Structure 1
Amino acid sequence: MSKKEDIKLLRINYLRGPNMWTYRPVLEVWLDLGELEDFPSHLLPGFNERLTQALPALIEHHCGVGERGGFLQRLLEGTWCGHVLEHVVIELLNLAGMPTGFGQTRSTSQRGVYRMVFRARDEQVARSALAEGHALLMAAINDTPIDVPAAVARVRDKLDDCYLGPSTAAIVAAATDRRIPHIRLNDGNLVQLGHGARQRRIWTAETDMTSAIAEGIAGDKDLTKTLLKSCGIPVPAGVAVKTAEAAWDAAEDLGLPVVIKPSDGNHGRGVTLDLKKREDVMAAFKLAEEHGSEVLVESYIPGNEHRLLVVGGKVVAAARGDIATVTGDGRQSVAELIDTQINNDPRRGLTEEFPLNRINAQEDSVILLDLERQGLTIDAIPETGREVLIQRNGNVAIDCTDQVHPEVAHIVSLAARVIGLDIAGIDLVAQDISRPLHEQGGAIVEVNAGPGLLMHLKPAEGMPQPVGQAIIDHLFADDETGRIPVVGIAGSRGTHTISRLVAWLLHLNGRHVGLACTEGLFLGTRRVERKNSARWDASHRLLMNRGVDAVVIENSAESVLRDGLAYDRCHVGVVTDMGGIAGLAHYDVLTEDQLFKVLRTQIDVVLSEGTAVLNAAEPRLLDMVELCDGEVILYAMDGASPALAEHRAKGGRAVFLQGGAAVLAQGLSETSGANVDALLRRFAASPAAVTAEIDAATVLAAVATAWAMNIPSELISAGLDTFVPELQA
């Protein structure tokens, strides 16, 4: 078979919010199969075998068949290469550690051109997976070498560079489980949870409730000990020293053995334990001096190191460290023994996905010093049967949460409160964590701000602990979601006027409102940007604004196709009409059915406790009623509309025009309120008006939306009487 030309990637677009495909961000790729349009999978000799041999886990892909092996069935029957590329990319993401289950591939109006989408938590990772998947697919088609491990490694590298760290990801996942939205605020681990005035922020395991003073105290080990000791918390006796001679003097005064460590180090760097000889103390001082601004000499506390995680004053997880040793065989050096007896453990690795770190003794001064104290070097060959200490406290990664004695939990919680940290990693040394510290001479040796969570999420032994959930429960009460009211308004006629009128009514109702519409970006009644702000980026900025407690966002079909919605869910979703299709040919939206799939996105994201507002005069919009998770309010000019009558007969709410006023109806009850005609006359008489997109239907949509937001009918009437629909030129 002759070599096939590469599939062309015509367009690559990251949809950052809910879209016509799914609720979540996706990478949308326009593909031109070229000559491969005439060669589905079963017509490519040997292709299926090469592909499934390279990616055997494709058997787990259900595809549209809905069962294990479904995608392989499609391969055998014959499926087009755009669909195959979708599954190859998804599998690469799965292998790289970013599990992805969603993908779709659909034909366009052009022969051989397809739109392929897949779930994409991070745009750069998704683009990397696409590039690798494209190359792998063409290699399988043309029977050229396929290096899956290298491709996966490159995607994983991009994942490590770009995506959230495991601690932050665990907190975000817990927030998602609570239906709390999140926004990533930088390229690292600064994340906003919730929207507007109800948001909280995390930076890994620090929160916007974490005191800067407390963090500064925790960074000073000597000050930390002083404060803890003053409250009766057991800490090792110790003193700060400036010279190696002073370190030995302090060791003699305290009584051997001792510990020497930097006063402001972290991750155990420069910490040497169980020192009994002068020369060891002198060497340990020099090592600690390299890792901190000051050196501490402390009494040695026998036992294992433990890390207890305190969140909101409660101990939520605990882990224990363990001694790492090797046993000589008379043939291998210490370095070789470390590799064969310690580093060969599959739980050890260089990245955060491994619960235990690989030991690189050549670069660890503490290990080299401990070897020297045993009369060995890294290249020495211990005699057969000799046990050699490598690490006195290896990775603290053995879960012991269920073993913590209540007295220990009380002291640890008190330590966090004394320092002032809402989230703290408390390091203590004890022989048995299930016994009170005073019974065994245990002590707290460090208090850490911004503690790592990985040891609790992926312990080397024992059960993982739900520490992300504990942090979310600390930040948000049980009945809180971090959400502010969000109103999304979609359509092509009068949507900016509806947006401004709804924002005005919310303002009168005491809300600090952010508004993004075609007439600009507004905070309250102040226009802060004059350019068209019915865009994803402008809307997103409102959700980030701590001064906003309600948001109104104008959307168009084009913006949904280009970016997706700026919010994951909304309290009120409005769709006014099925117009505007003429400008959507670039997105291959050419029919009313296709436009319906785009506009329904606004209704799909309405919360179960929210409301959809739909124009009953548009027959296709009535098909969206069943798509809404929440309530539906219909509006129409004619109160005798069959659609309104049927809706009201079921107890539904409706708004219609009667005698020039908006009528709010539910079931058989009716309330006559806002004077619509008066607003229209006032507008028509205004010489300063720069827009003509206001009519009775537009005003009714705004009234229905305000009613959905529980604004009293009297206030709606007053709002229409005082609304200024035009902007000065």
Structure 2
Amino acid sequence: MSKQDDIKLLRINYLRGPNIWTYRPVLEVWLDLGGLEDFPSNLLPGFNERLVALLPALLEHHCGVGERGGFLQRLHEGTWLGHVLEHVVIELLNLSDMPTGFGQTRSTSQRGVYRMVFRARDEQVARTALAEGHRLLTAAINKQPYGAADVQAAVEKIRAKVDDCYLGPSTAAIVAAATDRRIPHIRLNDGNLVQLGYGARQHRIWTAETDLTSAIAEGIAHDKDLTKSLLATCGVPVPEGQIVGNAQEAWEAAEDIGLPVVVKPSDGNHGRGVSLDLNTRDEVEAAFRVAEPHGSEVIVERFVRGHEHRLLVVGGRVVAAARGETASVTGDGVSTVAQLVDAQLNTDPRRGHGEDFPLGPIQAANDGAVILDLQRQGLSADAIPAAGREVLIQRNGNVAIDCTDEVHPEVDYIVSLAARVVGLDIAGVDVVAQDISRPLHEQGGAIVEVNAGPGLLMHLKPAEGSPRPVGRAICDHLFPDTPDHQQPGGHSGRIPLVGITGSGETHHVARLVAWLLHLSGYYTGLACRNGLYLDQRCVDDTDCAHWEAGQRLLMNRAVQAAVFENGAETILRSGLAYDRCQVGVVTDLGGAAGLAEFDITEDGQMFKVMRSQVDVVLPDGVAVLNAADARLAEMEELCDGEVIFYGLVPDAAVIAAHRNKGGRTLYIRQDQVVLANGSTENFLPGLGKLSAWCKRRAIPEDMLLAAIAAAWALDIPLNLIGAGLNAFESTDKPAGRAD
């Protein structure tokens, strides 16, 4: 074996939707083992030991054995190196805090060539993990220098890509809660703008802001002086204050208000530039200079004694609360204040840069508010406090102790009122109180700020106390279980979706179903080989039976129902555009010709491809299957929902068996369409002679039956189906382009 026999990565393909492997996005990699095809893991001297030394946690991989140590067992028995690469990549992702449990490796018809896939939430993260895993495995195979430091460097590179590409923790918490509720999501940009739900039933979030968050309310919250004025008018306790233009005015305002006071930017955030408990002119004027760079104006207000609290209001109710703590260091007689801060505070795992940390690092030498507090104690960042001396570093900005269960009902009411007065559906309300379990008026407490787009991390990962399900609270706010959301799919943000796959003229089925949905009153989107249609208007006359066109429909707020034509190539190249559908139609299992690129050469291989459409049918949905193909009929067992079989003849074995079980079927008798529900039969009203209809419109009878079955599955009234089909005119030309 020589160096040139290393694993070659032939092709890398990101499957963005449900596919032949799984419901979720995966990275599919085509591998050529070359000469390594003759060297499974047990025939490479020392390879297993080198690999496990680099990645000891491979012991935890169950693999196909189904128990801890299963993969190591496979290693020692002998497994091919494409399979090993799969586990190496998965383990690197696990070490990078992106746990990935799914992976598969399968041989192809070409000797030494394999298809390896693994779960991939983000394509760029997955590609980085693949590259690093390939590098590690190559080193282990060829006894190249590669140690623990190299593993850690690989992990850090993947983590950096995660930080660049993946959702922030607040947004991720909301998306995870949506996933738990079976609410689909689409990421709309490289940042934290995410769509929850499809089409007309969607909502959008941007971290903790939603499409229900008023821009006017955000503007009000940004102006702290205006916010206080509105709150005071409505009886919400707030500290009195004044906007000032210079340091002298700040002192004059402090004298008018009465010492002690707070000086802060009128439109700052994250506690920047805020100085508390100021009692002298020098302190007030210095605090003005600290606050001025952090906002458009500076405000002086009465100092309210007590602890800082952050209460999260979602949809008019408090769902989480956290209490702040001051940050102090203790002198050792040797270290400077800055050194003590780094050693005693910045080593706290809660502190760090980025959204993953509830607390930020403290820069004692550069933070104006910290410098001012040190000056008030006769110190500087370079001073060396005496051993045992406690030095106050930060009075605010350290909110990380959960106190949700302590909030008094009156405090809950006042805080919720404050959010309503400002007009925010989601708000972070800052309250200063000595005891949050007592009414504010009893202790002189007050609301000092109302913030739009609040961070959620302090509630998701508090330093003390229980995490709170704030992501779920936001999902429940956007998709409540109320009468307005009781229509099918409304509670989960879903619209009626119909997916159609097969090798024949499935565009006819798609056009017919979209037409009938349109007549039923739905603003209907259609993506098929004839083009992209919005409510029967063609907006793109190219072939649109692909993932990108489908996504355009799902993101369109006007679309109330959508129909997708999905060829086998679409499923193999990109996956389905949607996660689940109401109705899935499979017309046949042909079409292997032309798919050699995907290692498919005969129709017998098409079952695994076409089943993808049935796999995604919702539990309350319907799969529509052609009874003429006994292999296709086997997909009935794969469907989570109901199955309707259609066929040209009533006495087909599959149809008869399904009727005997009380199932729904369609077939032709006396040149008319018969709809049977168990033993009950009805002719489709209004359609007339089937042969004449099909001849006039050049649509095959089996395609018409598939469309009628899909419409029946959508609960479209039978008389509307018949009348609608009579009104349908088939054309391969666009039905009127949009301007």
Q: Are 1:726 and 2:731 counterparts?
A: yes
Pairing partner for 1:416 from 416, 419, 424: 419
> For 2:349 and 2:206, how far apart are their aligned partners in 1?
30
Alignment of 1:420-439 (within 5 A): 420-439=423-442
Q: Are 1:326 and 2:337 counterparts?
A: no
Aligned with 2:348: secondary structure? coil
Report how far residue 58 of structure 1 moved.
1.5
Structure 2 partner of 1:568: 579
Q: Deviations over 1:87-137 (max 9, x none)?
A: 111111122122111111111111111111111111111111111111111
> For 2:723 and 2:397, how far apart are their aligned partners in 1?
70
Aligned with 2:75: secondary structure? helix
Given that residues 593 and 602 in structure 2 are in contact (C-alpha distance below 8 angstroms), is that contact kept between their aligned partners in structure 1? no
Which residue identity lines up with residue 644 of structure 1 in the other structure? Answer: I
> For 2:363 and 2:106, how far apart are their aligned partners in 1?
50
Report how far residue 358 of structure 1 moved.
2.6
Which residue identity lines up with residue 719 of structure 2 in the other structure? Answer: E
Given that residues 82 and 114 in structure 1 are in contact (C-alpha distance below 8 angstroms), is that contact kept between their aligned partners in structure 2? yes
Alignment of 1:263-662 (within 5 A): 263-478=266-481, 479=486, 480-662=491-673
Cα 1:431–1:210 change in 2 (3 A) is same
> For 1:277 and 1:45, how far apart are their aligned partners in 2?
77
Q: Are 1:145 and 2:146 counterparts?
A: yes
Pairing partner for 2:183 from 180, 200, 204: 180
Report how far residue 140 of structure 1 moved.
1.8
Structure 2 partner of 1:698: 703
Q: Deviations over 1:356-380 (max 9, x none)?
A: 3332223322112211221111111
Cα 1:392–1:581 change in 2 (3 A) is same
Report how far residue 170 of structure 1 moved.
0.5
> For 1:431 and 1:47, how far apart are their aligned partners in 2?
63
Which residue identity lines up with residue 655 of structure 2 in the other structure? Answer: L
> For 2:29 and 2:593, how far apart are their aligned partners in 1?
23
Given that residues 673 and 690 in structure 2 are in contact (C-alpha distance below 8 angstroms), is that contact kept between their aligned partners in structure 1? no
> For 2:230 and 2:687, how far apart are their aligned partners in 1?
68
Alignment of 1:35-46 (within 5 A): 35-46=35-46
Aligned with 2:475: secondary structure? helix
Q: Which moved more, 1:340-349 or 1:615-624?
A: 340-349
> For 2:287 and 2:254, how far apart are their aligned partners in 1?
12
Structure 1 partner of 2:131: 131
Q: Deviations over 1:510-541 (max 9, x none)?
A: 11111111011111121111100101101110
Which residue identity lines up with residue 726 of structure 1 in the other structure? Answer: T
Report how far residue 271 of structure 1 moved.
0.6
> For 2:663 and 2:693, how far apart are their aligned partners in 1?
32
Which residue identity lines up with residue 699 of structure 1 in the other structure? Answer: L
Which residue identity lines up with residue 344 of structure 2 in the other structure? Answer: Q
TM-score calculated relative to the size of structure 1: 0.97
Q: Are 1:162 and 2:178 counterparts?
A: no
Given that residues 672 and 690 in structure 2 are in contact (C-alpha distance below 8 angstroms), is that contact kept between their aligned partners in structure 1? no
Aligned with 2:684: secondary structure? strand
> For 2:534 and 2:38, how far apart are their aligned partners in 1?
55
Percentage of matched positions with identical amino acids: 70
Report how far residue 682 of structure 1 moved.
5.1
Please, which runs of 5 or more residues in structure 1 have no aligned partner? 687-691
Structure 2 partner of 1:48: 48
> For 1:107 and 1:701, how far apart are their aligned partners in 2?
35
> For 1:323 and 1:536, how far apart are their aligned partners in 2?
52
Cα 1:363–1:9 change in 2 (3 A) is farther
Report how far residue 684 of structure 1 moved.
3.7
Aligned with 1:581: secondary structure? coil
> For 1:87 and 1:351, how far apart are their aligned partners in 2?
30
Cα 1:23–1:132 change in 2 (3 A) is same
Aligned with 1:644: secondary structure? helix
> For 1:677 and 1:127, how far apart are their aligned partners in 2?
57
> For 1:368 and 1:79, how far apart are their aligned partners in 2?
62
Q: Are 1:83 and 2:86 counterparts?
A: no
> For 2:732 and 2:601, how far apart are their aligned partners in 1?
34
Given that residues 4 and 36 in structure 1 are in contact (C-alpha distance below 8 angstroms), is that contact kept between their aligned partners in structure 2? no
Q: Which moved more, 1:465-474 or 1:141-150?
A: 141-150
Pairing partner for 1:228 from 226, 231, 243: 231
> For 2:371 and 2:37, how far apart are their aligned partners in 1?
63
> For 1:593 and 1:304, how far apart are their aligned partners in 2?
70
Q: Which moved more, 1:371-380 or 1:610-619?
A: 371-380
Report how far residue 340 of structure 1 moved.
2.0
Aligned with 2:703: secondary structure? helix
Structure 2 partner of 1:10: 10
Aligned with 1:647: secondary structure? helix
> For 1:251 and 1:560, how far apart are their aligned partners in 2?
69
Given that residues 661 and 674 in structure 1 are in contact (C-alpha distance below 8 angstroms), is that contact kept between their aligned partners in structure 2? no
Report how far residue 347 of structure 1 moved.
3.2
Please, which runs of 5 or more residues in structure 2 have no aligned partner? 735-739
Q: Deviations over 1:683-707 (max 9, x none)?
A: 6457xxxxx5x21111111111111
Report how far residue 352 of structure 1 moved.
3.0
Given that residues 572 and 606 in structure 1 are in contact (C-alpha distance below 8 angstroms), is that contact kept between their aligned partners in structure 2? yes
> For 1:727 and 1:347, how far apart are their aligned partners in 2?
61
> For 1:203 and 1:451, how far apart are their aligned partners in 2?
11
Aligned with 1:362: secondary structure? coil
Which residue identity lines up with residue 353 of structure 1 in the other structure? Answer: D
Aligned with 2:399: secondary structure? coil
Structure 2 partner of 1:670: 681
Q: Which moved more, 1:342-351 or 1:443-452?
A: 342-351
Report how far residue 218 of structure 1 moved.
0.2
Structure 2 partner of 1:707: 712
Report how far residue 5 of structure 1 moved.
4.1
> For 1:503 and 1:136, how far apart are their aligned partners in 2?
51
Report how far residue 349 of structure 1 moved.
2.8
Which residue identity lines up with residue 318 of structure 1 in the other structure? Answer: A
Q: Which moved more, 1:706-715 or 1:677-686?
A: 677-686
Structure 2 partner of 1:215: 218
Which residue identity lines up with residue 329 of structure 1 in the other structure? Answer: D
Given that residues 683 and 725 in structure 1 are in contact (C-alpha distance below 8 angstroms), is that contact kept between their aligned partners in structure 2? no
> For 1:343 and 1:477, how far apart are their aligned partners in 2?
41
Given that residues 324 and 394 in structure 1 are in contact (C-alpha distance below 8 angstroms), is that contact kept between their aligned partners in structure 2? no
Given that residues 309 and 426 in structure 1 are in contact (C-alpha distance below 8 angstroms), is that contact kept between their aligned partners in structure 2? yes
Cα 1:363–1:594 change in 2 (3 A) is farther
Given that residues 506 and 513 in structure 1 are in contact (C-alpha distance below 8 angstroms), is that contact kept between their aligned partners in structure 2? yes
Report how far residue 295 of structure 1 moved.
0.3
> For 1:494 and 1:3, how far apart are their aligned partners in 2?
50
Given that residues 425 and 447 in structure 1 are in contact (C-alpha distance below 8 angstroms), is that contact kept between their aligned partners in structure 2? yes
Which residue identity lines up with residue 272 of structure 1 in the other structure? Answer: S
Which residue identity lines up with residue 33 of structure 1 in the other structure? Answer: L
Report how far residue 678 of structure 1 moved.
4.3
Aligned with 2:647: secondary structure? strand
Aligned with 1:9: secondary structure? strand
Aligned with 1:259: secondary structure? strand
Which residue identity lines up with residue 588 of structure 2 in the other structure? Answer: D
Aligned with 2:648: secondary structure? strand
Cα 1:363–1:128 change in 2 (3 A) is farther
Report how far residue 26 of structure 1 moved.
0.5
Alignment of 1:82-101 (within 5 A): 82-101=82-101
